[in-house]
């Protein structure tokens, strides 16, 4: 029997999603909680690997059991064991051909920039004092739409077969004293969204030109893009199937 989890977590205390020996991770904590319930190791598969310090509102994962269990009871048990910075929002029984990672069509991330000091969002936003030109940032965001090679916007040692991603949406919005970057793609590379945000900020403060985005993409050189934005402002918002 295959079960799907929808998971929300504050990534501040964790070394990312993916389980690592000797490191505190979100996947590791959930697998540990499942072992307490079923007295057996149950591996879970996530839709995407969030980096150290990155948060999620709609992470999706699946796991298999050889016997029946009540999803509602399991939901309550897991949330009773897990720390309060990880919450299981939903558990449902799904078809055995569902795969949290490979069945996903799109992934959506949000990045939050605070234009004024904030107490409530200090752990979930990047506070900037620069004057940022939103129109320039949105013009730059349009430059990454479609299918492109994002070598310039990922970690140099990323172990992937290719660096192509198809961007379906990339847009900056202003909500009061916040700037929200919304990006949807079929896949994301390690550190890609944070590198994009850092580069768009430099466009917004006129350190880079809008046209530079195309040049950075073309040249496939990480050193040409800007410094990555801090992890705390990034949230994995939703997975589309």
User: At how many degrees (to 10) do helices 134-142 and 192-204 cross?
Assistant: 130
Please check whether residue 206 is in contact with residue 144, taking contact to mean a CB–CB distance below 8 angstroms: no
Place of tokens 């990555």: 228
Q: Give the CA count within 13 Å in the CB-facing half-sphere of 197.
A: 26
Signed CA dihedral, 120, 122, 125, 130: sign only: positive
Q: Which of 10, 51, 202, 212 is catalytic?
A: 51
DSSP summary character for residue 177: T
CA distance 172 to 112: 10
146's tokens: 């479609």
CA distance 193 to 101: 18
Active site residue 51: yes
182's tokens: 């919304």
Q: Mapped to the 3 state alphabet, what secondary structure does 149-165 carry?
A: ECHHHCCCCCCCCCCEE
Please check whether residue 4 is in contact with residue 51, taking contact to mean a CB–CB distance below 8 angstroms: no
- Annotated catalytic residues are 51
């Amino acid at each position: 029997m295959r079960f799907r989890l929808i998971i929300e977590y504050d990534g501040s205390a964790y070394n990312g999603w993916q389980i690592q020996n000797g490191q505190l991770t979100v996947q590791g904590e959930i697998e540990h909680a499942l072992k307490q319930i079923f007295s057996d190791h149950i591996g879970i598969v996530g839709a995407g690997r969030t980096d150290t310090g990155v948060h999620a509102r709609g992470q999706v994962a699946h796991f298999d059991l050889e016997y029946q269990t009540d999803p509602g009871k399991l939901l309550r048990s897991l949330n009773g064991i897990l720390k309060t910075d990880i919450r299981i929002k939903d558990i449902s029984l799904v078809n055995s051909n569902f795969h949290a990672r490979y069945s996903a069509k799109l992934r959506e991330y949000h990045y939050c920039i605070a234009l004024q000091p904030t107490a409530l969002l200090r752990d979930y936003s990047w506070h900037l004092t620069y004057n940022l030109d939103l129109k320039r940032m949105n013009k730059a965001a349009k430059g990454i739409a479609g299918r492109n090679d994002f070598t310039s916007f990922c970690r140099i040692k990323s172990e992937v077969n290719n660096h192509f991603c198809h961007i379906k949406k990339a847009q900056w919005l202003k909500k009061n004293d916040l700037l929200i970057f919304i990006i949807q793609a079929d896949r994301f590379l390690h550190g890609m969204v944070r590198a994009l945000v850092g580069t768009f900020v430099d466009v917004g403060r006129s350190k880079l030109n809008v046209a530079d985005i195309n040049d950075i993409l073309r040249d496939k050189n990480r050193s040409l893009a800007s410094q990555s934005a801090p992890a705390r402002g990034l949230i994995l918002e939703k997975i589309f199937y």
